[in-house]
Structure 1
């Protein structure tokens, strides 16, 4: 039998509510289930650790996707702000700029030159 961390076994048993035994059970009182418990633990714990690792990898992937989405939303918000600012600047400086559609290249060029972009 390999090295077994008894605290890990105990916490695993509590999580599994192993065997559904109660303290008034004679097997429980004599602790006759321990060899069986260790055998089940050694079979099941690696599977549980693998599932936990897979779940952690899945959560990390979802976190990465969420971060990418937030970055994309921030870029889109900045672009929208830039377009509004460019249109307002163009109107203030005598250019004809619509409320929608493309901003004329001369307005973009003049805006960038004035703002130092």
Structure 2
């Protein structure tokens, strides 16, 4: 059975586009395992400003230091699913997400502006 709402069904078409995915851990709306599966299907690299995360690189996705001028994602460890628009759970996460999004839109580079709220 194929579910039209499953993003994995669109991964092949989406992979040809410029993608900056934002992930929050934990995410009470979209399970992180699903986000990880989508990231794998899209061939995304994790962008991390934390040297220990880049050095460890222990999971199936490649972890690189910023800036990354290609498709990738940042894992925000503070905030929640809605933190991009709402600072209710973490003002620092909201500020970082919005700053990183603007940087990406202006330059095409994925960065991490606040390593205290990212992995």
Q: Structure 1 length normalisation: TM-score?
A: 0.21
Structure (1/2) with the larger helix percentage: 1
Q: Which has the larger radius of gyration?
A: 1
Greater relative contact order structure (CA < 8 Å, 6+ sep)? 2
Structure (1/2) with the larger strand percentage: 2
